[in-house]
Structure 1
């Protein structure tokens, strides 16, 4: 019996034939379809705004994503600093010119605005990309232990209206609320974006489920997509599903527990409990009072809990799956500060793809007894790129000296170093950079003028 219980509570994974590259793990989450989708809608949006598309393609979007991944590790005060001659960072600057990067960042898009006028989905601008990521997360094999919790995606702007939420005890107090289901390994398997009354607009709920409060609806919805849900249904019918979790003080079923003040007087580690009909309610004081409900565990046996101590600098407390994922996402965050409210959500999609793919990679390494690279190295190794050949930038004293800057015709064309769309066969003989040379010599003159 013990062996059967252990086989159920501890998931077994088949070891892979070989550990793949970080790029291959990442593309299991951020797929070719997603990249083509971004390229298509970026061209469509830029054509709607400018009258002419910026003519990007999936390969250029890949380069753009790789730059964002690098920027999440190597943080500069501003984006322009990566290209400035005094602080130029070649790992990023060699991939793409600054003006082209800024143009892509300005017009990157994920849905057709003209087709979403009557859409009840308030997240329509990012929904297609979010759903594609969710579908890939659902395919990841999971452990049998799951947790459901809310994640805050930081956003301090006001353009999102009531989509922006406030939770005072989160690292990002202002932002978008996303409910997630994660396995004990920290891998996020399902997501649900909170948007008020229309949160469940695309979810089929029974009459009984529609009467449930928000928290119960969220847990029910996210647990329906568990891969072993048929097994869970069988257990629920015959034995009942066992669960334990924290609840708000007003959700303990009216159990007459001690007040917070009484427990605080007794000191850290004190607790009080009441039980009825196979359910136990417990209030426990640690840094603050925590309320729990369970139909799986009682208060016995009592044991000491390992936790972080600032004085002795000793570890550790057990971290739940959602907390672990949230910690990994915040270690190296994609720069996503923007007036457009959906850009931080795009940054979270990119960072979650990295965190999930690294956890799958780490699990595969453990199955094959190989040493896994840390998350930072994994993120940097995701995209192997070939830097485009670029001409060295002239120093300001050379560029602005007004001496000997003659146009030189070349056999090969190059991108203009002044205007974002220009391509020219002319370059400055002294500065050695390509510049558009039209009748008025606008780019050539403007580039050399302070």
Structure 2
């Protein structure tokens, strides 16, 4: 038997030697070993499962607010720290507020889902994305992006080796929210 008799042809068909073996095996198959399928009607059994309690379906914004509540954007956290950082850097007042911080972070979530190659493309006439462009002007977004801060100091705390100290308030906010979530026994995360 040559090597070409063992390889499949260009169309993926098995070689003649394999085809002959397969056909012989089908002819020699024991007829008593054939599977017979029967069609029987489905009989619904009664069950005693407890009824499910109806839960209200929450909006994505409500879920997001579980993690970042209004206090996070308040004048004592994101808006306050961003204003202070800008004042220290430039000597001028940025005049941002919690509402603008919410818009700023929301626009970044949209940009994370609908990505363009360059930031200015969200405002370009041909590619304008109204979810971003109508919420905040491009130059204001760039200004907030450059000066966004959630800590009051510019220098890392002495003695601690935390390389994430600048974003630690955000991490703490998410961690505290995760600890408040009710965990049901037997849930997927276990």
Mapped contact 1:63–1:95 kept (Cα < 8 A): yes
CA separation in 2, counterparts of 1:15 and 1:110? 40
Change (3 A) 1:53 1:108: same
Task: Show the counterpart of 2:179.
Answer: 138
CA separation in 2, counterparts of 1:89 and 1:103? 19
How does the TM-score come out when normalised to structure 1?
A: 0.28
Change (3 A) 1:31 1:119: farther
CA separation in 2, counterparts of 1:61 and 1:16? 35
Change (3 A) 1:87 1:41: same
Whose helix proportion is higher, 1 or 2? 2
CA separation in 1, counterparts of 2:103 and 2:88? 24
CA separation in 1, counterparts of 2:90 and 2:97? 18
Task: Show the counterpart of 2:82.
Answer: 42
User: Which residue of 36, 54, 58 corresponds with 1:20?
Assistant: 58
1:69 is aligned to 2:109: yes
Deviating runs (4+, > 3 A) in structure 1? Answer: 14-17, 114-117
Query: Any unmatched runs of 5+ in structure 2?
Result: 1-51
1:51 is aligned to 2:55: no
CA separation in 2, counterparts of 1:17 and 1:59? 30
CA separation in 2, counterparts of 1:24 and 1:125? 26
User: Which residue of 158, 169, 173 corresponds with 1:118?
Assistant: 158
* 1:69 CA drift (Å): 1.6
Mapped contact 1:143–1:184 kept (Cα < 8 A): no
CA separation in 1, counterparts of 2:70 and 2:184? 27
Aligned positions of 1:221-240 closer than 5 A:
none
Task: Show the counterpart of 1:184.
Answer: 188
Query: Any unmatched runs of 5+ in structure 1?
Result: 1-13, 146-182, 186-320, 322-450
